[in-house]
Amino acid sequence: MANGYYEIRDVVYGFVRLDQQEWDIVNHEVFQRLRRVKQLSLTDMVYPGATHTRLEHSIGVMQMASDIFDSIIRKDQARSLLFEHYKLNSDGINRYRKIIRLAALLHDIGHAPFSHAGEGLMPIKDQESKERYDHEEYSIAIIKHYFRGLIEDHPLCANYPIQVEEVTALLGDSVKCSFLGIILLFKGIISGQLDADRADYLLRDSIHAGVSYGLYDKDRLVNCIDIGQIQETGDLVLAVQDGGWNIAESLVIARYQMFSQVYFHKTRRVYDHHISNAVKTILENCYPGFNGCYPLPTDLEHYILFDDWSIYGKLKDGLGGVHGEIVLKRQHYRKVYETDLIPTQQQGEELDRKVEELKSQGISEYFVDEAKTKWYKMDKDILISDEKTGFVRVLSGLSPIVKSMVDNPRKKRLYVKKH
Amino acid sequence: MANGYYEIRDVVYGFVRLDQQEWDIVNHEVFQRLRRVKQLSLTDMVYPGATHTRLEHSIGVMQMASDIFDSIIRKDQARSLLFEHYKLNSDGINRYRKIIRLAALLHDIGHAPFSHAGEGLMPIKDQESKERYDHEEYSIAIIKHYFRGLIEDHPLCANYPIQVEEVTALLGDSVKCSFLGIILLFKGIISGQLDADRADYLLRDSIHAGVSYGLYDKDRLVNCIDIGQIQETGDLVLAVQDGGWNIAESLVIARYQMFSQVYFHKTRRVYDHHISNAVKTILENCYPGFNGCYPLPTDLEHYILFDDWSIYGKLKDGLGGVHGEIVLKRQHYRKVYETDLIPTQQQGEELDRKVEELKSQGISEYFVDEAKTKWYKMDKDILISDEKTGFVRVLSGLSPIVKSMVDNPRKKRLYVKKH
Amino acid sequence: MANGYYEIRDVVYGFVRLDQQEWDIVNHEVFQRLRRVKQLSLTDMVYPGATHTRLEHSIGVMQMASDIFDSIIRKDQARSLLFEHYKLNSDGINRYRKIIRLAALLHDIGHAPFSHAGEGLMPIKDQESKERYDHEEYSIAIIKHYFRGLIEDHPLCANYPIQVEEVTALLGDSVKCSFLGIILLFKGIISGQLDADRADYLLRDSIHAGVSYGLYDKDRLVNCIDIGQIQETGDLVLAVQDGGWNIAESLVIARYQMFSQVYFHKTRRVYDHHISNAVKTILENCYPGFNGCYPLPTDLEHYILFDDWSIYGKLKDGLGGVHGEIVLKRQHYRKVYETDLIPTQQQGEELDRKVEELKSQGISEYFVDEAKTKWYKMDKDILISDEKTGFVRVLSGLSPIVKSMVDNPRKKRLYVKKH
Amino acid sequence: MANGYYEIRDVVYGFVRLDQQEWDIVNHEVFQRLRRVKQLSLTDMVYPGATHTRLEHSIGVMQMASDIFDSIIRKDQARSLLFEHYKLNSDGINRYRKIIRLAALLHDIGHAPFSHAGEGLMPIKDQESKERYDHEEYSIAIIKHYFRGLIEDHPLCANYPIQVEEVTALLGDSVKCSFLGIILLFKGIISGQLDADRADYLLRDSIHAGVSYGLYDKDRLVNCIDIGQIQETGDLVLAVQDGGWNIAESLVIARYQMFSQVYFHKTRRVYDHHISNAVKTILENCYPGFNGCYPLPTDLEHYILFDDWSIYGKLKDGLGGVHGEIVLKRQHYRKVYETDLIPTQQQGEELDRKVEELKSQGISEYFVDEAKTKWYKMDKDILISDEKTGFVRVLSGLSPIVKSMVDNPRKKRLYVKKH
């Protein structure tokens, strides 16, 4: 540590440097749990290389987030605007840089085993709406419970005290603080259509899976992110410099292609189904108190015991039921029918007909999947700033491709047990 | 399957194509077990990206092996030599191509959990010498037991029947057959200093770990492999064309650098120690009949139940003892002293002194590691064939670098429990 | 040549292998001229790495073309269709493979200095329409004149005689021959929206320029190309397997992004203007007989004397006029106004107004550029074949992105001399 | 320029950022001349992609040099040492950073056409020793003559005045100044066995040529460079942290492999001979006043008129004599004999015998080449600093590979005219 920092080798950035505080967080046993949560659930059933973890990704997002932040701060005009609007000088900048890094590092700390495949097993939050807790609520709870000390009282922060709520505010937690405007401004680095999370996982998932769909030009994206201004209100917003609107577009396209080719892959989708059911069986059999769900965010002590490893063990012990067996032997249900990304009415009816047919034959071992996402949130359009005025336009007004992404995919597939 | 083949996406080759027989082998549940054996044990404790598996690697070695084979066959002169010496025509070539692919695909089928870290827990073969079984013996046993049918009776092989013993012969199993010469010739593709195994893992480990040490020029290596002739005896041997001796050298260097930087990494080495001890504890506690070892090669039914997942579960259940706890919390012993790669006498004494000191203080939670390999086996020198005559020379006679690799590393390190 | 082939190192494919005939063509002095024609004219004024040549690209297109061809032939169903429809057996396949390779290798042989920047200086073909010759007409003329012998009489072709007209037929030359259907079928490999030319330059230009816009997944594209069938007519057509329609889409996107970011770059565009004018001046001053144009396709002897080097020399000798001076000193006109890719009416008027303003001030050293291409030719839609039936659909029906590319770019810019 | 910097796309670094001063230097017409000097002479005759220029490389070296500098400054201990020894605070650091960047940017400004191939045509400096001027002497002369204003009087340097002699001091020019110690310390960044020049060209040449021999791990190298201390004298020196000695070794190996495979390639070497002779002929025919040499460093006005382009023109005009013709038609002499890298006595005699044979046959169109370099300068050993003490050891003491590089290559080849 004669250097004053630690380094972790990373497939996307070469190296990520961490200061002592970040290093201590990474080495906390609750953070180490992310080593045991794969980034893409059982996607490695299709793309054998995709065995990477949330730990690797989380460290990467921290790097990406501060790369974006540094790129903004490097720009003369952006620094001026931050000073004019928020009196942000170089001390303040360092402090916000740290808040952003910590939020990025910890944003996924609440994930259940097998990442998103586990979200259907979160406990129900509201009995009426049947809405379930999501992993962000767990993240916020875990940060407040386990990391408050390392965030608020770490010697490294002596010069610019940080409150844990400032960190969680970037993850969607509501916050009352005098710097609300800045928090809102920088929130886009952590969650938004150009955020560091997305900017990292597209590259990382591509590299480990061995595909090129998500390999947009990271350097150019980072270089082009800037602060723009809404002409009507004068508010500051994150924006992409107009010379770089194509790179913003290419990130949108990269995500579109990764969904089409990887995240929506027919085999990957059905394994989400199998593992989800296997975990449900395990929860029911082994943890009867939890009603087939993960523990509540108020019971973190138990929640953090769950990770891929604990599930793996139960699977190998034969406690995952028929779906557990399927995972172990790679005998997933086979796709027998699928619609286009946006189903035609005819395709929808065809699928229904096929399901009825199965039912009439007394076959129950089938699965109807609906793969959904939003290609682009038109109501949260990416903003492009004019080189001269600094005022922003919306990306969908410049890019015919982005504009074309109004219809969202909801591809349906029918899978039946293999014989 | 209108195409007549299957494809698997791969980080090294882009795609690997498999015919129906290979596909059936890969989907066999005993092969799927390799999904649950990480290639590099707990190396991801240092290089977070290195979570890849033996399954991914095995498929890659198959591709690399036939790439090498095809490159040889592409050469006019090599084909002539094979015909002159062994009457090998295009049918025979196809048959040997298949044997080589199968041997490559299955060469690691016998690995225990956590790969090489598990070799110290293999049962003892010979009570006198205390020699243990190794993973190759398990591989051969498993191939013969579980894959004979898929190899010998698969419809795809109707035109060129293959015996399972021809496959295992390439893995070191002794064999009696009329084509012994050819088997000996091609054995170098599966095991040797330029074999497909090595040629694959250097690249694959580099990509997933995010390092460049192992990234030699695969295309050039493959292109340069040829058949040469020993001038004195006239025997055919695998060789590298003389225009490409630098690429053979660069593979040797790549391996040297991967060992120095990755496989011998201080933290990786100590985790091999911790996981090995944790597994031992698990074996003793949970499988009392096995005497703290894995089942015998005669008890494959039990042996194949062991994989990383079954161990993970026991670790999470707290059955891995103190070393299991260390793995879960990333609280490995810390290096307090290390020698050069080739220890000086002084360094050796210094290490002994430090160990004595620990003992005298009653400290028992320490670990002395000795990292050993051979940089280059001078007695199995890589052969370089002359462009004009086809006769071979040894690589160590051409490359001062290879020649310098006579002293083998045996770096010692002392680790002590963290406080 | 003990191997039976030659190898050239290539940035896209690693190596390109050439047989003796191809090697002889490449070494012909008329082919060597392509070494002296840069692929992207003066694009290196913006992207300093983009100094690569047509020679490099031409060799690459040959490789890409036969990779595509081989991928088709590898597929059981495609081979069956070719046999059923055209009686094409393995001998015939080898012959067409060679024709395709030769056409690909020679497709750019007719380029003038500075590639497309030279097309405005081609002589006028038809005085009424003022249409000029294009580089393809020169390519065909050159192939017939200089390469007939190497194509028709090369020993390597003894087993399957080829006529030079079969090669030029793939470049757009009309042809009468009994295998017209096959020629039409394979023409798409050489010219079309998925052709080997495009498939190569997007990658090559990206690599040398150091950008990632054009880096689509070559391996997957090649793997997915197949032969499909038009349901109504039963005709065979080149198609992409439906599992790979996203990769066809990604090539379209890659091209779109390369145009937006590289080929339409403001500085690149203005240098096309400057070099074009400089060459015109040189032609007028040094070659008075040619009326400021390149020699006619009937005067190939003089035409092939022109290449970047001969122009460079004249520029250095100060014979390029004011525009030549600009090129030497990198003092290009500066962009003072530009429209969107698809100009709004308002932007068009604004530009006209600015031009008028310049004129009224007596300023004549300005340049109005209009950058045009077609994002996608809807009337030559890429075809996607159904996995089961083999019948084709159009890509624009599957991809909302491709469908959105109906409006073509015609971005206008106004440049004025720097002061 | 709202950002405060310019950006150039680069194949090695993604982007290089330049401030206004650096941008002005790059746009100076004498700097633009480097666009017309290829980095590797006629290496593209073998590796068609290797058409890149000294301009591209020079900008890259500037980036690499400050990356190295920044890495040193990032380290707590290094900053402390610089302050203790030289009172260097953050202002001083910024000033030296700029000096280093300028030296790196301009280090190759004096190259003659076709880079090193032109060095044999430099005028003779000392009639007695027959020693010739080298490109560094031209670089220094050009910097002082053409760039003094942009260096010393640029507005950007108002806060830390720089003298042009401080810049040239880093290139080997002797200098008298109060900060001599620092200059000596930082000189290693510009010239040495780990310098930014080498660190850049190995990567850049590899990328454009499409080879992987020179692709060492840039990020790790940069991260590991530090300031160490000589135990005996207390002097500060550039060093590599001991955890990174393998990366220093790998740079040495990368260079060794690039020489063996690319720079010493038989065809490349003979084209250096041909182009050199062609230029000589051109100089004699077209510039009779110069005695077959380039102009003197005292006649810069004429010297800077020479670049690849001016030579290309003369070649095309047929003024390059027989060797010029050879270059245009790619009809180089063919290698008929070569020795090992380090010739045995027998090989040397064999070569002499063959030359005699040619002579006796009256053949004069042949060429004997001797390819020489030093693999490693043992007397300027790379220094490795101890993690704890900061004291340095020599790399050749740690690395058996580096230690083995004592014998330097002097491979001889005999080429004869092709028939």
pLDDT digit string, tens, across residues A102-126: 999 999 999 999 988 888 899 999 8
Mark D4-25 as b/e (b = at least 16 C-beta within 10 Å). ebbbbbbbbbbbbbbeebbbbb
Place of tokens 């909302």: C400
pLDDT at D367 over 70: yes
Q: Mean pLDDT over all residues of chain A?
A: 94
Q: Which residues of chain D lie closer than 8 angstroms to C12, CB-CB? A: 210
D215 φ/ψ angles, rounded to the nearest 5 degrees? -85, 70
First and final C-alpha spacing in chain C: 59
Q: Give the pLDDT confidence score for residue B156 in this predicted structure.
A: 86
Determine the Cα–Cα distance for residues D371 and D415; give it in Å rounded to an integer: 13
DSSP characters over B229-260: E-TTT--EEEEEEGGGHHHHHHHHHHHHHHII
Show residues of chain A in contact with D77, CB under 8 Å: 2-4
Instruction: List the single best residue of B312, B315, B418 to mutate versus A (max A Cβ within 10 A).
Output: B312
Please tell me the predicted confidence (pLDDT) of residue D298.
94
Chains that touch D (3 or more CB pairs under 8 A): A, B, C
Chain D residue at shortest CA distance from C14: D210
Helix (H) or strand (E) holding A238: strand A236-241
Give the model's pLDDT for residue C177: 54
Give per-residue pLDDT as tens, C256-284: 999 999 999 999 999 999 999 999 999 99
The answer for residues whose C-beta is within 8 angstroms of residue D321's C-beta and 6 or more apart is D277, D278, D281
Position A158, amino acid: A
The interface predicted TM-score of the complex, written ipTM, equals 0.91
Token pair listed for C217: 């997944």
Alpha carbons A69 and B319: distance in angstroms, whole number:
45
**pLDDT exceeds 90 at position B1:** no
Neighbour subunits, A (≥3 Cβ pairs < 8 A): B, C, D
- Reported as a pLDDT band with limits 50, 70 and 90, residue B227 is very high
B91 vs C255 pLDDT, higher one: C255
Tens digits of per-residue pLDDT, D205-239? 999 999 999 999 999 999 999 999 999 999 999 99
- Flag if A310 and B308 touch (Cβ within 8 Å): no
- Mean of per-residue pLDDT scores for chain D: 94
Under the banding of pLDDT at 50, 70 and 90, the label for residue C131 is very high
Alpha carbon of A9: minimum distance to chain C alpha carbons (Å)? 23
A52, A210 contact by CB (below 8 A): no
Residue of chain A minimizing CA distance to C397: A340
Inter-chain contact B3–C220, Cβ cutoff 8 Å?
A: no
What integer pLDDT is reported at residue A386 of this predicted model?
A: 92
Q: Given CA atoms B287, B289, B294, B295 in this order, what sign does their dihedral have? A: negative
pLDDT, greater one: D403 or A174: D403
Residue B161: CB atoms within 10 Å? 11
| Chain Cα centroid distance, residue A143 | 17
- CB of A315 less than 8 A from some CB of B: yes
Q: Is the whole model's pTM more than 0.90, yes or no?
A: yes
In percent, the amount of chain A with pLDDT more than 70 equals: 98
| Strand-pair category, D383-385 with D236-241 | parallel
Mean pLDDT of D150-178: 84
pLDDT: which is higher, C178 or D121:
D121
**For testing the chain C interface, which of D42, D51, D62 should be mutated: the one with the most C CBs within 10 Å?**
D51
C179 pLDDT above the threshold of 80: no
Task: Tell me C242's DSSP state.
Answer: G
CA distances from B150 to B127, B141, C101, D218 (A): 36, 15, 40, 47
Q: Which residue of C has its CA nearest to D318?
A: C310
Measured distance CA(A234)–CA(C169) in Å, rounded: 62
Q: In the prediction, which pLDDT does C141 show? A: 97
D157 vs D19: which has the higher pLDDT: D19
Written as six digits, the tokens of B246 are 């630098």
State the Cα–Cα distance between residues D211 and B216, nearest whole angstrom: 10
Residue A5 burial (C-beta neighbours within 10 Å; 0-12, 13-18, 19+): middle
B305 contacts in A (CB within 8 Å)? Answer: 316
Distance CA B24, CA B22 (A): 5
Mean pLDDT of B28-48: 96
How confident is the prediction for chain B on average, in pLDDT?
Answer: 94
**How many residues in total does chain C contain?**
419
Q: Which residue of C has its CA nearest to D261?
A: C9
In this prediction, residue D172 carries a pLDDT of 79
C407 touches chain A (CB under 8 A): yes
* Of C146, C134, C202, the residue nearest C33 (C-alpha): C146
**pLDDT at position A116:** 82
Helix (H) or strand (E) holding A103: helix A90-106
pLDDT, one tens digit per residue, over C330-385 is: 999 999 999 999 999 999 999 999 999 999 999 999 999 999 999 999 999 999 99
Going by their DSSP bridges, the two strands C366-372 and C236-241 should be labelled as unpaired
Amino acid B269 reads R
> CA A375, CA A383: separation in Å to the nearest integer?
16
When pLDDT is averaged across residues C277-302 and rounded to a whole number, the result is 94
User: Given this model, what pLDDT does residue D195 score?
Assistant: 95
Closest CB to C330: pick one of D8, D27, D310.
Answer: D27
pLDDT in the model for residue D175: 57
Please report the pLDDT score of residue B181 as a whole number.
76
pLDDT recorded at residue D358: 97
pLDDT given at position B219: 93
Are D4 and A387 within 8 A, CB to CB?
A: no
Matching residue, tokens 């076709």: D114
Tokens representing D169?
Answer: 């001091």
In 3D space, the residue among C90, C233, C104 whose CA is nearest the CA of residue C168 turns out to be C104
Tell me, what's the pLDDT at D115?
86
- CB nearest A52 (choices: B8, B51, B59): B51
Q: Specify the amino acid at residue A220.
A: R
| Nearest residue to D20 via CA among D36, D34, D1, D45 | D1
Q: Which of A278-287, D158-167, D183-192 is modeled with the greatest confidence? A: A278-287
Contacts of residue A263, defined as CB under 8 A and 6 or more positions apart, other chains included, come to A40, A43, A373
Q: What is the mean pLDDT of residues D150-159?
A: 89
| Chain A residues 183-242 with a CB less than 8 Å from chain D | 217-220, 223, 226
Q: Which two tokens stand for residue B393?
A: 């020379």
Q: Is A132 on the interface with D (CB under 8 A)?
A: no
* pLDDT of D304 higher than 80: yes
Contacts of C3 in chain B (CB under 8 A): 74-77, 226
What chain B residue is nearest to A207 in terms of C-alpha separation? Answer: B11
